[in-house]
Amino acid sequence: MRWICRGVSRARDNRRVSDASLTTRHPHPPTGQDTVVRKSAIRARENVPIPCRLGRIKKNVDKEDWNCRYQGDDLLWTERPNRFLVTETEGLATGRALDLACGEGRNSVWLAEQGWQVTGVDFADVALEKARHLAEDRGVRVDWVGANLLEYAPPTEAFELVIAFYLQMPIKLLRPIFARAAGAVAPGGTFLIVAHDPSNLTHGYGGPRDPAVLYTTDDVLPALAGLEIERAEPVVRTVETAEGAREAVDALVRARRPRR
C-alpha cells in the first residue's frame, strides 16, 4: 500500500523510474558542482503530491521521505532565523557563509539579509524550491545547492561562516561531514553547530525521539581538528506551544580557525 503526505489522494502510479529521468542538472559556478533539479521539486512548485512511504524516516538520511515532509505550500518550520544563529553571529564581520542542511532556507535568507554571501546546501529538492521562493519574497540572493552531505565536499577554507543546525543523524555519519565542514572554514572564520542534545529526551520538549540521531558537544569536538573551540555546552531554548512555553535542550558548539 502506498500513501500520500498530508491526507491527499493515495492513488499514484507505482512505476519505478531511473534517476536519470528524474533529474536536470545545472552548473553551479561558486562550488564547481551541479545543482540538481528533480521532478520532486517541480511537483512542489506545481503543488502536485509526492508519493510517500508510511513509516519513520530512517536515521534522517532518506531523501524522498524528507521531500515528502516538506511537501505543501506552508513552511514545515518557521521563516524566522534560529535564535542561536542571531546571538552567536552578532558582531561578526560579514563575508561568505555556508549553510549545511539549510532546509527551507530560513537561516540562509536571514544571513543574506545581514549582508552575507550565502550558499545553502540540502538534499531535499522540495525544501530548496521553497527556499528559493522565500529568498525571492525577501529580495535576497542565495546560491542553493542540491547535494547529499554524506558526499558533499565544500571548498577548503572558503567561508568566513559555516553553520550546521539540527543536522540529526548517527554521529559516525556526522563526523566526516563535520570534518569537511571544518575544513571549509577560512582563517579567522567561525563554525557554528546547533543540534538536539540527548538530554532533551528526558529533560526537554520536542525533537527526535531516536537517541541514535542525538549527540553531545563532546561527540562533535573530535571532528573539528584545526579549529579553536570558543564555546561547547548544552543550551536551553524556549519553545512556544499551544499549552504554553516549554523548554528544549540543544547542544551548541562555536569554533574558530586561527588567523595565520
Confidence of residue 25 (pLDDT cuts 50, 70, 90): very low
Per-residue pLDDT, averaged over 96-120, amounts to 97
Question: And the C-alpha cell for 89?
Answer: 553571529
Residue 67: partners with Cβ closer than 8 Å, 6 or more residues away = 40, 44, 50, 124, 125, 126, 127
Question: And the C-alpha cell for 1?
Answer: 500500500
Residue 74 is predicted with a pLDDT of 66
Question: And the C-alpha cell for 152?
Answer: 558533499
Residue 228 is predicted with a pLDDT of 98
Per-residue pLDDT, averaged over 71-76, amounts to 67
Alpha-carbon distance 142 to 35, whole Å?
A: 13
Q: What is the pTM of this model?
A: 0.76
Query: Each residue of 77-91: pLDDT tens digit?
Result: 667 999 999 999 999
The arrangement of strands across the sheet holding 185-196 comes to 142-146, 117-122, 96-100, 159-165, 185-196, 244-256, 228-241
What are the percentages of helix, strand and coil residues in the chain, rounded to 5? 30, 30, 40
* CA distances from residue 51 to 8, 63, 69, 124 in whole angstroms, order as listed: 10, 13, 11, 14
- Domains recognised in the chain with CATH numbers: 3-70 (no CATH), 83-256 (3.40.50.150)
Task: Pick the more confident residue, 217 or 45.
Answer: 217
